[in-house]
Structures are given as structure tokens and as C-alpha cells.
Chain A
Amino acid sequence: SQKIEQNSEALNIQEGKTATLTCNYTNYSPAYLQWYRQDPGRGPVFLLLIRENEKEKRKERLKVTFDTTLKQSLFHITASQPADSATYLCALDMKRSSGSARQLTFGSGTQLTVLP
């Protein structure tokens, strides 16, 4: 069965360092992968999308890589700040076998805490 794993439930890093979060998947061939940020009691907020034919995507201090051979995505936040503290979710599209409709399946999330 399909499975999405994010490297750790919680990650603490010092302000100014680079945070690296991992998303691994099995038995998928996603067309794209997305990363979201979620703050407590709020809905997820979209950060970045990377397609299967892209190796890397950047947006300001954020960088995402996508290795379809390793079935892994890495999400980096450089020069991290306490305001970056949140839960980060990876999400993969999954084509339904019964038709063309697609849906997002979320990983379990990594709670990042940036310490001042």
C-alpha cells in the first residue's frame, strides 16, 4: 500500500541555521509534490510545488528537491527564524485507479521549532 513518511515528528534547530525536513514515499509515482505549513488551530498554507520532472525549486529562503529515484523530497529553510516554527506537511498527488480524479495525500508532518 502507499505510504508517506516525514523524517521526524519534531525537529529543533537554532536560529540562523538551515532546517532540513525529509519526505519519503513508497509505491507512488506522483506527478508532483507539495509542501504546506500549518500553525496550531489553522488550515495548512501552501508553500511550494515541485513536479516530477523538476529537481529543485526555490522561493526566498525555501528550497525543495525531488528525487523520484530515491522517492524522496527534501525541504530546506535557510537562515531559520523563530517565526518559521510550525508543522510542515508534504503532500503527494495520487491518481485514483478508477478514473482521472486526483487527490492530495498528506504526510504525518514535522513540527519544527526554531530556538532563539
Chain B
Amino acid sequence: DTEVTQTPKHLVMGMTNKKSLKCEQHMGHRAMYWYKQKAKKPPELMFVYSYEKLSINESVPSRFSPECPNSSLLNLHLHALQPEDSALYLCASSQLTSGGVSYNEQFFGPGTRLTVL
């Protein structure tokens, strides 16, 4: 199984709502990532988890809260978002070397299209 799955595919939420995005992979990858992608722009890294621990947070606002409950799952909890947070949210995973560093290709999910009203 070389697939990364993301749910939901589409999400519309108000600025006061709380919602969660989910990502799952069963490739045994120990690095998982959240990216944000606006239209006609490249993916921008938000968070990196290595061995289920947060290793990189790219100064993301606290209204985005990541969680990695186990080695196969990655969540992104959303609260009090702004309309400018509307974007495609991509999850990815990759293998890690024995030193905990990823030199490998990343496998991306199809993304969740988020609209904040």
C-alpha cells in the first residue's frame, strides 16, 4: 500500500468552528508532514513529525494544532480560522534514515480543500 489518504476531501467551516483534518499512511514511514497550498503557488511546509514527535513548526499560527497519535495517523485541528486560511491542505509521509533524517521522496495525499467563510 503506497497511498496516503486524507479526509475529508472538502471542508467548509465558519470562523468560530472547530474541525479536524485527518491523514493516514500504512507504508511504515516515520516522517509525516502538513503543507498548505494556495492556488497557483507551491506547497508551503507547516509541520513535520519525526517518530511521532513534532520536529519542525514553521511559525504556524496557534489556530492550527497538529497531532500525531501513532505512526500511521496525523491530524490537524482547526479552530478560529480566518478566510485567508482557505487553501488545499496536503499531508505527506516519507521514510527516515537511521539518523532520523529524511533524504527520501515524499508521498502526498490528495489533499483537503478547505474553505473558511
Contact = CB atoms under 8 A, between A and B. Distances in A.
B112 to A, nearest CB: 10
Contacts, number: 54
Given A41-B88, A43-B90, A101 B111 contact: no
Interface residues of B, number: 27
B100 interface: yes
B69 interface: no
Given A41-B88, A41-B111, A100 B100 contact: yes
A94 B48 CA distance: 13
Given A45-B108, A49-B105, A89-B42, A101 B48 contact: yes
B7 to A, nearest CB: 14
Interface of A: 31-32, 34, 41-46, 49, 89, 93, 96, 100-109
Interface of B: 4, 41-45, 48, 50, 55-56, 88, 90, 92, 99-111, 113
